[in-house]
Structure 1
Amino acid sequence: MWEEFENALSWYAAAPNRWVQSAKQDMTAAAEWVWVVLQGDFADDQSTAQVVTGTVISMIPLVDQLCDIRDVVANCRKINQDTSNKLAWLALALTLIGLFPCLGSLAKGCLKIPFNYGRKYAFKGAAKTLDSSLWKNTAPFVESSIVKLNQHLAHPAVRKTLAVLKIDNVWKYLARKVRDVKGLVSTSRLMSVFDDLADALASLCDLIQKWGSAALQSKAADLLRSVKAVRDQANKSLSEVVKPLQDWLDKLARRLEVEADMNYRAYTNAHTPHRFTPTTLEAEIASIKADLPSWVKASTKAPKKALQDAPSIPHGYPNISKTSPRDMLRGKFNTFHTIEPREFPPGTTLYRVLDPNSADNSICWMTKEEFELLKSKSDWRERFAVWMNWNRNGEYVTYTVPPGKPLRTWEGEAASQELKDSAGRAVKDADGKSIWAVGGGKQLVLDPADLDKAYLGKRRPTGWGYGDAGEHIDLVGVPTLTNNWNPRNQ
């Protein structure tokens, strides 16, 4: 029993030294450990990796219950700050419906992601009332959750579970589960789940009362009183969120069905059983606005301002001016913050980071030294100012300059790139600042017509995965490192 207990709790915090040194007999240390677990903040600021990994880990039964108790404790704390805040009660309801038995472990792990993001809106939003604009207001958070849910579904453990359960279209499966939950939502059902978790919390607090210090016992008693205070008001307050919650779940189910249509369309002349689908601009904007990643910066001006004028073009160098005869090179000087011509002698190896849809022979490259400076996908996106809807990463290819003449390129710091919507309007954060992919890495721009296919290396994995920035995820249906030389770029 202790081994199972320790394995579960180690997901949250390392065991106190006293617990290990006492051969796991120091009950005071164990009580402190339980208390640390219960204090875990609500998952507002989890990284993508924590969200994805957490939902997989939560499929382990004992850890699963601890996750649930932590969430309810956090919800109760929020409610006790302002019991009139309807959105805080909605957040509690979203926690409780994720525990309905009809979901099962797989659907529960998956749907916790959109439910968590719905709670993010409830916890972070300035509004405290529920109205007809609830779905519209939560839409950016829902879209962000769809990105994370795609990553979760790509996890090997989840893929194996889907295979065992013979679920071919997981999005339609989840949509059905959401509608099942909607049909069960009622005040009595929510109260029943709440009471079950409150009882489980009371059992844990009994252990703290038995083993813990006097100070810890007092804290545990205060925690139980705070949960009881919410319980005393819950019947009335939860009844007021049932209808808005049902409407929200109905729209979520429809959004999952739309995702099913997008992910399971048929493609003719396909080389793989599934099609690699890049992030859409709309999904990226929603994701970034809901949770600003580390590799972007909100600022009133560009961190690395783009060049306004093209440099003079020496003979034999790619024409990157506004009047270039090559469409793919025209005006590309403005992707630089600084720029100078540079030629590479035969035998030099250059690197290009790409996704399965990218052409091997395109204009953007980097030196080996620059490539080796990159330690993560976030590094790459930040230094080379690459939005997710442009390039999902996952792979790289090398090119070795062949014997004979040198390869002439342009080299310089990458300029910052402003996030813009499909109409070309700058996307702003809550403070009205523009959102920038920073730049500053030394990029190369060359003319693909100067490349020789015979000297192109095989595609290799970056090790950073195909998912969102900073993730290491195996994606279902991605081509297996297949070179993609585009003759039209020659």
Structure 2
Amino acid sequence: MYKFVGKNIREVADKLSPAMLSHLLKQKCDDLKALLHKIRAIVPSTTRERIDDFINLIDAKRHAMSSAIQEFVQPVRTVLKVMAKRLDDQAWHVQTYQTNRGWIAPISEVGSAKLINGSPPKWVKKQSGPMTHPPLNMDDHAVKSLMKEHPKHPALQKWIVDTFSKHKGGMRAGEIKGPAKLYRVVDPSNEGAGIFWMTEAEYKAIKNRDEWRSRFAVKPEWNQNGWVVEYEVKAGENLPVWRGPAASQELKEGTDYYLEGGGEQIVFFPGSRDEMVQAMPRVDRKTGQTLKDRDGNADRRVEYTDMTGETAPVKLRVRITEPNIKGPVETGWGATDFTLQEAQRILLTAPSAL
């Protein structure tokens, strides 16, 4: 029902134009005037005078209203588009909650910083000097040279390289020889077929969510966790990967905490991407224009309000299409770092300065 109503409202908004409304206004005014002319022929003369005055008033007001339509159509279209987007998003909210037990919502970067400042969890460290595992910081020339040396390995971008630490030998080319299994922790907004993984030994050594978030420096706004997928490297297969220690990650400016990192992360690209939700495009609430994503396409993220009241737009996963990936299955760690009750208590007792 949410989707049906939202779709119809969006269609009305797309059709709405000054020309169309002016035409409809003229049509309805003409219908009213035709009815009044019919009545005029059968009423007393004193009433005919009032009808004539009313017809003249209709003509005068119609021209004024036609001029006003030019000014007010765009705000009306914007309101309708925003309403349609909210209804469509609500449909996806309901569906996601039904299929992902315990998941509340994504959390925004600002919201995460508020809660961490108010009540620092176990998985953050106070930043009083250099971070434990500083990033690699390899320049573009070095990245290109490394890819040239290992043409069969996944293509690298600087932001990927920066997720590795320069400690413990830094990032290096490697191979995962089958039979073997790799693991990736996800929530409903993450692709199962993403690029960051861990070995079976690393995954089995993790006892809880705190250890996972700390060792692999996964910010809350990136991944709320709760589920895990398994990638199978079959016997006889050799999977080219990049591997090395995860770099420490600074949290949002305004906090003096960071995620330590140091766990061995594996980077590779599974053969096929996940099917993602094609939600109604996001809308600029001032202009009504469709917002664009980083690739210049319509931004089809679903908007949530996180537990701190901040807006948190995310993509949602429909299904994993890669045949070598099994899952997702629950980790048993829970699906959020803070419960709603904990968040409310933190915000009330220790309000953030952000």
Q: Structure 1 length as normaliser, TM-score?
A: 0.36
Larger radius of gyration: 2
Q: Which has the higher helix share?
A: 1
Q: Which has the higher strand share?
A: 2
